Structure 1
Amino acid sequence: MSTLKPAVSDKDHFEGGKSASIEIVEFGDYECPHCGHAYPIIKQIQKTFGDQIKFIFRNFPLQEAHEYAFPAAVAAEAAALQGKFWEMHDGLYENQNQLGESLFNELAEKVGLDLGKFKSDYGSDEVTEKVESDFESGIRSGVNGTPSFYVNGTKFDGGVEDLFQMLKESAE
């Protein structure tokens, strides 16, 4: 059974309860159609369970298959340096069919980023290294496709619908 390596830390982006009993990590690719399909279901899970879960997103851009996966992950991490990771993350998934530099800049403006800082952060080693570090974590954790989910540190075998069902059953 695959386990999450390294464990969730303060380097990760999360939403929900900081000390929630259920921790869900998604390894995702902004251009992956399966991740795009999972996105609204994850939102539904978050709405249903609120602070009972802590949701973490790690970048796993499949560069060979998806031309804009890595640049999109870099855009999200550049936004994170201004405290707007989730706004950019959501914008990227909600406009998945328009990924590209013009969308990244449009979203940066829409979420209220300092555009000069966004552009310089977008090209920075710090941001690229964060994406590469997430990807490396996925390799070490046994990720073999996106989206891949880990629940409380253990790989979840199933899709996002199965995950939602399991959470609903465990809450009863």
Structure 2
Amino acid sequence: DALLGCHRSYRSRPTHGIGKFKYLLPKEVPKKRKEKVQMKEISAGTEYQYGDINIQMTSYDLCLVEHFAQYVHRLCNRLSIQVNESYAMPTKTNEVLFLEERGSKMQLDAVLTTHQRVVQIRGLSSTFAPILLETIQSNQPEGVHLLMKQHTEADFKSRLKSRPELEELLAEMS
């Protein structure tokens, strides 16, 4: 009889903060705006070690180039090669036109987008470089072009998209 006549008398009473846990959690720091990408000092390397090297992967297939760049990044980490950064270059779009048999009018046949990913490494020893390159080439998928070259200032500038409208406004202001 006591179990059937269950009445919870505490429902209407204040809890005085029992069960609150927000004060236990660390305070959330507001997110900062991303700063402009600053150019880092390019290391020239020594007689036995390369400086900054870009491993560039280019393909028409976004998924393929993304996964291959991920593979190269993980391979370098596993082989204790210092990865400076890994980034995507702006995509390039090419329109393929063809000329009709009878006429001078060009028609659009296809639109090709080229995707490029770059893994930048530093401090690769000259004796280990051929081993790394051979490993990467043996696992290179079809349709992905691979290029290994020394990092230059021009590579850093090509990474950033040019904004002509903004440049015109800045020129007018000064």
Q: Which TM-score tier does this pair reach, normalised by the shorter chain? A: under 0.3
Larger strand percent? 2
TM-score for both structures, normalised by structure 1: 0.24
Higher RCO (CA 8 Å, separation ≥ 6 residues): 1
Larger helix percent? 1
